[in-house]
């Protein structure tokens, strides 16, 4: 069991539903009832704030963001504020780890590998400090990372801008960086003169799960949400701390 990475594609989920599912998968992983799991999905528009978020991240009052149809969630992950919406690939790896910093670097390498297969020269900026965690194309940020670890098992994970609307990133101090320029796979392939964007998200989703499995040294196995639910139905409920 431990040699597999279960990959479950979930479509578009509300953030609260995805958070509850992560917690159930984490409990099952802690109990040894499932192997490492990667949940891949998209979110309805939502800002999420990490443990390092500051009070000055929202230039406008909460009511203004609600009028734009965007929810706001406080989370227990690392990092600062980010944004999720349809067209962005969100990955929640629920995996056992020993070293959190090494795990974050592993996620960055997996994303860089997947983007390189799309012909993009992505990089991390680990040497510049924790504010620059994630993956970049020159000085443009394409992927964010924020994780939480409880009893040796991770929750939260990564978000890669694929073909989503980037405008709402400009309505906050995204990633805690006032001058950050966000980009997406769609924007970058347009720069390269590639007009065929129809299969960007499903293709990149496959590249990403394969790259992550390779970095973890695991064999990926696609499982349906129904198969995952059957495994979770026998898992105990714990606090996860």
Residues marked as catalytic:
175
Q: b vs e for 130-143, b when ≥16 Cβ sit within 10 Å of the residue's Cβ?
A: eeebbbbbeebbbb
How far, in Å, CA of 70 to CA of 57, rounded?
15
Of all helices (H) and strands (E), which one includes residue 94? strand 88-94
Structure tokens at 184: 């997406």
How far, in Å, CA of 156 to CA of 95, rounded?
10
CB atoms within 10 A of CB 18: 21
Structure tokens at 36: 């490492």
How far, in Å, CA of 97 to CA of 38, rounded?
14
How far, in Å, CA of 203 to CA of 199, rounded?
6
């Amino acid at each position: 069991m431990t040699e597999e990475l279960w990959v479950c594609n979930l479509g578009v989920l509300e953030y609260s539903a995805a958070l509850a599912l992560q917690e159930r998968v984490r409990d099952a992983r802690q109990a040894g009832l499932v192997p490492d799991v990667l949940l891949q999905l998209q979110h309805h528009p939502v800002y999420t704030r990490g443990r390092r978020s500051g009070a000055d991240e929202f230039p406008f009052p909460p009511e203004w963001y609600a009028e734009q149809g965007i929810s706001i969630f406080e989370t227990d992950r690392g990092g600062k504020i980010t944004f999720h919406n349809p067209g962005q690939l969100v990955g929640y790896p629920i995996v056992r780890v020993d070293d959190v910093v090494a795990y974050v670097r592993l996620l960055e390498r997996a994303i860089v590998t997947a983007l390189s297969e799309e012909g993009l020269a992505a990089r991390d900026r680990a040497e510049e400090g924790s504010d620059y965690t994630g993956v970049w194309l020159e000085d443009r940020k394409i992927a964010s990372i924020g994780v939480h670890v409880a009893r040796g098992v991770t929750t939260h994970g990564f978000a890669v801008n694929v073909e989503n609307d980037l405008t709402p990133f400009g309505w906050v101090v995204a990633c805690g960086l006032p001058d950050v320029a966000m980009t997406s796979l769609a924007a970058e392939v347009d720069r390269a003169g590639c007009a065929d964007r129809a299969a960007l998200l499903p293709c990149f989703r496959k590249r990403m799960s394969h790259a992550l499995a390779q970095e973890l040294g695991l064999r990926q196995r696609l499982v349906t949400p129904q198969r995952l639910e059957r495994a979770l139905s026998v898992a105990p409920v714990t606090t996860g701390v």
